[in-house]
Structure 1
């Protein structure tokens, strides 16, 4: 395998391993719900927590993939934290060729 293939494989295996751990949160929410059902614990917070955990489950696996796979992470981080040095250069290049007239910034 080439070095880039090996790196991609390692990133994918890390993402899949973390995604395999995600059902533990589901188990925690289900266990807490059973404790509530048999009235072993009581309280408004305990009544809400299992459902809040289960609501977050479908969101976790895509976020894990986006974080642990480097090409995805670099694109997302580029959207969130754009490089401040690239945009002014592109903007000045666009303005300098506007209508064929030189523009001084």
Structure 2
């Protein structure tokens, strides 16, 4: 049995705010999107420490901090115009192009 790929409300490069969980209130940029699992990686959110073993002569080991995936339902798109997290609406421009708009202030969110 195959799973359907979920359509996510955020895209790579969007600025989002985490609304639930341990990082609630944190803003960050979406770095990677995984539609199959419904998860995203946000810059600076859900950071885990990984211990790296040196693999060769002269190569240093140590600890690195790496972002881990979180569910996309835990984030909302951040509107730079009204400075708040918002839901997304859609509107067609005069030239027929479909754009995403802020539900709170009505400003266009797509660049």
Q: What interval of TM-score do these two structures reach, taking the shorter chain for normalisation?
A: under 0.3
Answer with 1 or 2: which has the greater Rg. 1
Could you tell me the TM-score, scaled by structure 2's length? Answer: 0.23
Question: Could you say which structure has the higher helix fraction?
Answer: 1
Q: Which has the higher contact order (CA 8 A, sep 6+)?
A: 1
